[in-house]
Copies of this chain bind each other. A is one copy, B any other.
């Protein structure tokens, strides 16, 4: 049971392969009538083009590579999934598929393979790193690529969330609620994103002309033991609110507060980032910043497509956010 080809269609219709090809692709001049005829025949005999042959003729693969880092916090997984979903949605509309690869950030062999084997037209990196070997490799080899998150590697298409403005707005809202001893707990202070958030937090204080208590800022809080200590300190210092830079952190903060019999929002307010399912069922519900992760994937994919098709390409995009106010800051 062989597949029907463009030649079969041409022969059956008494036209040339060229004509059939043009009817399908819509490229080049062709009579409306002829086009209809070809399209009708194709539909009826459900001919589907061989993408591989098309690839070879056009030197395009109709695949984009997506790199997921093999090392991650469990909290990142839903993020990747959402992004992937967005990427796929856009890719599919252009008849592109996703070629997946998973590697440690410093390992470029998998990525080199798909690039060397010419199996992709471009690549999306789901995470950026300080010394980003993968991004550098792609940049050097002249492969179109997009990163989710910021990078200083040349030629990268970047799409990122506006962490700074988001954190600023959240903080401003809390300040307006007359909370002014707001503690901030965050992860690795060497991460660009941590610094962006901190800046947003500080800016909000400045704008509100409220003095910042620097001693309520705790960064690089990387493990739960450390976190418990910090929460104790925060309570001793009489903070009236705690902002956590991600939902995993916030989950641990809540756990500790419960252990200490500190009531939320009665004794202290709590706010978080990401609005992920991790805190979904928490009572009380948690005020949170929310980013559209699927949109992140969609924009990255769309920009990359533009680049691949040599259209005008937006090289850097910053996406918005939402502040979702809930019981924990009432």
Q: Contact at A78–B74, with CB atoms within 8 Å? A: yes
Contact present for A56 and B66 (CB under 8 Å): no
As a 0/1 sequence over residues 84 to 108 of chain A, the CB contacts with chain B under 8 angstroms (1 = contact) are: 1100100010010111111000000
Q: Check A102–B116 contact: CB distance below 8 A.
A: no
A42-72: CB near B (< 8 Å → 1, else 0) gives 0000001111110110000111001010100
Bin chain A's interface residue count.
Answer: 35 or more
Residue of B56, B99, B224 near A100 (CB, 8 A) is B99
User: Taking the complex as formed, is A256 at the interface, i.e. its CB lies under 8 A from any CB of chain B?
Assistant: no
Smallest CB gap from A77: residue in B: B77
Q: Known contacts being A56-B53, A118-B52, is A100 close to B102, with CB within 8 Å?
A: no
Residues of B within 8 A of A55 (CB): 52, 56
Most interface-central of A78, A97, A102 (chain B CB within 10 A):
A97
What residues of chain B lie closer than 8 Å to A217, measured between beta carbons? none
Q: Which of B51, B77, B88, B100 meets A119, CB within 8 Å?
A: B51
Q: Which residues of B contact A190 (CB under 8 A)?
A: none
Within 8 Å of chain B (Cβ to Cβ): is A34?
Answer: no
Contact assessment for B102 and A88 in the assembled complex, using a CB-CB cutoff below 8 Å: yes
A119 smallest CB distance to B (angstroms): 6
| CB pairs A–B below 8 angstroms (9 shown) | A55-B56, A62-B119, A68-B81, A77-B77, A77-B78, A92-B110, A98-B99, A99-B99, A224-B281
Query: Which A-B residue pairs are the 3 nearest by beta carbons?
Result: A77-B77, A100-B100, A51-B117
